[in-house]
């Protein structure tokens, strides 16, 4: 039986970041993905925003890993010439209640170590964004955008430079615990293959719960239920009316950040994502959602032209937060919780998972006890 040091299940941005990091310490890293290429699921269906780390409760993993991950990602992009733009974002209020929320956000952000949020005067706001309508706005200068595909390609190149391997069209079928680690059964285009591995990382995104259930010896009590929550995007044709990212105050239920406006590196403006819990994985974007989008967008962009809004794409979040329940944190679960040495399961890696990816990788390395800190 072939032996590897680690099998990373899932070649999304998080699995690739973990594998790249592990490949610096281990000589034989294997990343698998059931799809024909890397990053075809959540990682290619998101907003591509480098988040500042301002929304998440103090002490949460989301806060810690987003703030550390943001810094690490900007440095990584600079070092490896990955297209990015530290474009900044305005978070806008429409009334006194929302302004109070923004004031609280300054304090929440500061508690997370983000102390660069600042009020923008009405005059400056008009000069910066003449098409924007708001009673007040906060500027988050450390928010940015990144070309996720280039980032993932770079992580993969790093893995391969360190003698690691990525194998596509290979599905994890089963993991059995053995004395020396794990026996991993893979299905490579209908052929079964068994390999042994010292470590196993479950970074299967939308399928993290299903993959965990294929790990023999992992008690079901440690496997949380994952809920799928789709977010739709509409592109806005023509020249962008905004120069930077525009966000309303987040949804009260903590499910999403509100239908916001982001730009990609080519200057294409898009609105979204909204939030819709679903039972079946399906990515279609219905034109019927346009009216709801227009109502949300009109609050901060009254001159929105409905004809310019076109259905674009959707992405699906793997949420630990059940419909109607309180917001949940990321879950990066190691031996200290589930008792299986050499195994780390990642659950609920929704936003800000892209921003946090390098910090999540660092956390996984620590959980495996491969190094203490960097
Ligand atoms: C609508 C939306 C907007 C977002 N916007 C942002 C944002 O602006 N900024 C930000 O920081 N984050 C954002 N996120 C979050 C971010 O995109 C995710 O946290 C991140 O992409 C998750 O990466 P991943 O590697 O965990 O998952 P994925 O990219 O889904 O990768 C998991 C991989 O596992 C593979 N897999 C699953 N099961 C198996 C199996 N049995 N065998 C083999 N392979 C398997 C899948 O094929 C998949 O490729 C957003 C997410 C969504 C949905």
Diameter of the chain measured on Cα atoms: 69
Give the pocket of ligand 1 (CB within 6 Å): 9-15, 32-35, 39-43, 45-49, 51, 171-172, 203-207, 211, 231, 273, 315-317, 349-355
Region 138-162: mean pLDDT is 98
**One domain, residues 292 and 153:** no
Residue whose tokens read 């959980």: 367
The lowest-confidence range among 119-128, 183-192, 346-355 is 119-128
Q: Please state, in angstroms and as integers, the Cα–Cα distance from residue 339 to each residue in 74, 91, 123, 315, following that order.
A: 35, 43, 58, 33
Task: Fill in the DSSP letter of residue 300.
Answer: T
Residues 163, 344: Cα–Cα separation, whole Å: 22
**One domain, residues 292 and 160:** no
Residues 300, 312: Cα–Cα separation, whole Å: 21
Q: Please state, in angstroms and as integers, the Cα–Cα distance from residue 365 to each residue in 26, 128, 192, 330, 335, following that order.
A: 11, 43, 29, 16, 12
Structure-block tokens of residue 307: 């004809």
Residues 239, 221: Cα–Cα separation, whole Å: 52
What per-residue confidence (pLDDT) applies to 374? 39
Task: Read off the pLDDT band of 255 (50, 70, 90).
Answer: confident
pLDDT in tens, 33-74: 999 999 999 999 999 999 999 999 999 999 999 999 999 999
**Dihedral sign computed on CA atoms, order 52, 54, 56, 61:** positive
Q: Which atom of ligand 1 is nearest to the CA of 170?
A: 43
In this structure, the dihedral spanned by the alpha carbons of residues 248, 205, 23 and 155, taken in order and rounded to 10 degrees, is -50
Residue whose tokens read 């200057």: 267
Mutational pocket test of ligand 1: of 8, 10, 232, 263, the residue with most ligand atoms within 8 Å of the beta carbon: 10
56 within some domain: no
64 within some domain: no
What per-residue confidence (pLDDT) applies to 257? 83
Q: Is residue 335 within 8 Å of 367, Cβ to Cβ?
A: yes
What per-residue confidence (pLDDT) applies to 188? 96
Residues 116, 118: Cα–Cα separation, whole Å: 6
pTM here is: 0.97
Mutational pocket test of ligand 1: of 66, 354, 356, the residue with most ligand atoms within 8 Å of the beta carbon: 354
Domain count, the chain: 2
Query: Domain span at residue 260?
Result: 89-141+227-319
Q: Is residue 32 within 8 Å of 167, Cβ to Cβ?
A: yes
103 within some domain: yes
In the predicted structure, residue 210 carries a pLDDT above the cut 60? yes
Structure-block tokens of residue 223: 């496997």
What per-residue confidence (pLDDT) applies to 264? 95
Task: Fill in the DSSP letter of residue 11.
Answer: -
**One domain, residues 278 and 158:** no
Task: Provide the angle, in degrees to the nearest 10, between the axes of the packed helices 61-79 and 353-367.
Answer: 100
Q: Which neighbouring-strand residues pair with 35? A: none
4 CB contacts (<8 Å, ≥6 apart)? 28, 29, 30, 195, 196, 197, 198
256 within some domain: yes
In the predicted structure, residue 108 carries a pLDDT above the cut 90? yes
199 within some domain: yes
**One domain, residues 164 and 313:** no
Closest CA to 290 of 256, 259, 247: 259
Please state, for a pLDDT cut of 70, what percent of the chain lies above it: 99
Task: Read off the pLDDT band of 373 (50, 70, 90).
Answer: very low
Nearest CA to ligand 1 atom 3: 46
pLDDT in tens, 265-288: 999 999 999 999 999 999 999 999
pLDDT in tens, 291-343: 999 999 999 999 999 999 999 999 999 999 999 999 999 999 999 999 999 99
281 within some domain: yes
336 within some domain: yes
**One domain, residues 178 and 314:** no
Closest CA to 255 of 272, 271, 234, 276: 276
Residue whose tokens read 């929550």: 229
**One domain, residues 118 and 258:** yes
Residues 132, 269: Cα–Cα separation, whole Å: 14
Task: Fill in the DSSP letter of residue 214.
Answer: T
User: Which DSSP helix (H) or strand (E) runs through 133?
Assistant: none
Q: Which neighbouring-strand residues pair with 120? A: 137
Residue whose tokens read 């970041």: 17
62 within some domain: no
**One domain, residues 315 and 231:** yes
Q: Which atom of ligand 1 is nearest to the CA of 171?
A: 42
**One domain, residues 131 and 235:** yes
Provide the mean pLDDT of the chain.
95
What per-residue confidence (pLDDT) applies to 371? 65
């Amino acid at each position: 039986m072939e032996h590897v040091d680690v099998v990373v299940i899932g070649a999304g941005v998080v699995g690739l970041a973990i594998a790249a990091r592990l490949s610096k310490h281990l000589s034989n890293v294997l990343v698998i993905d059931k799809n024909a290429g890397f990053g075809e699921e959540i990682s290619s269906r998101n907003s591509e925003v480098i988040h500042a780390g301002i929304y998440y409760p103090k002490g949460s993993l989301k806060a810690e890993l987003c703030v550390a991950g943001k810094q690490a990602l900007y440095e990584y992009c600079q070092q490896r010439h990955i297209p990015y733009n530290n474009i900044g974002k305005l978070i806008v209020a429409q009334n006194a209640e929302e302004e109070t929320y923004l004031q609280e956000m300054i304090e929440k952000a500061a508690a997370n170590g983000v102390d660069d949020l600042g009020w923008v005067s009405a005059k400056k706001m008009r000069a910066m964004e003449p098409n924007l309508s708001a009673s007040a706005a906060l500027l988050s200068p450390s928010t940015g955008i990144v070309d996720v595909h280039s980032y993932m390609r770079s992580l993969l190149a790093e893995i391969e430079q360190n003698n690691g391997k990525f194998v596509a069209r290979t599905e994890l079928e089963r993991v059995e615990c053995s004395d020396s680690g794990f026996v991993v059964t893979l299905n490579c285009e209908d052929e079964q293959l068994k390999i042994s591995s010292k470590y196993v990382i479950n970074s299967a995104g939308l399928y993290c719960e299903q993959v965990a259930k294929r790990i023999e010896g992992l008690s079901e009590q440690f496997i949380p239920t994952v809920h799928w929550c789709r977010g739709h995007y509409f592109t806005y044709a023509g020249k962008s009316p905004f120069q930077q990212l525009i966000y309303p105050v987040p949804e009260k239920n903590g499910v999403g950040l509100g239908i916001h406006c982001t730009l990609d590196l080519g200057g294409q403006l898009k609105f979204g994502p909204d939030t819709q819990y679903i039972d079946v994985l399906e990515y279609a974007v219905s034109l019927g959602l346009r009216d709801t989008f227009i109502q949300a967008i009109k609050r901060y962009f009254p001159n929105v032209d409905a004809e310019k809004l076109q259905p674009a794409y959707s992405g699906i979040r793997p949420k630990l937060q059940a419909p109607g329940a309180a917001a949940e944190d990321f879950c990066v679960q190691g031996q200290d919780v589930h008792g299986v040495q050499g195994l780390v399961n990642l659950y609920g890696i929704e936003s800000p998972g892209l921003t946090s990816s390098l910090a999540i990788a660092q956390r996984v390395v620590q959980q495996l006890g491969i190094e203490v800190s960097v």
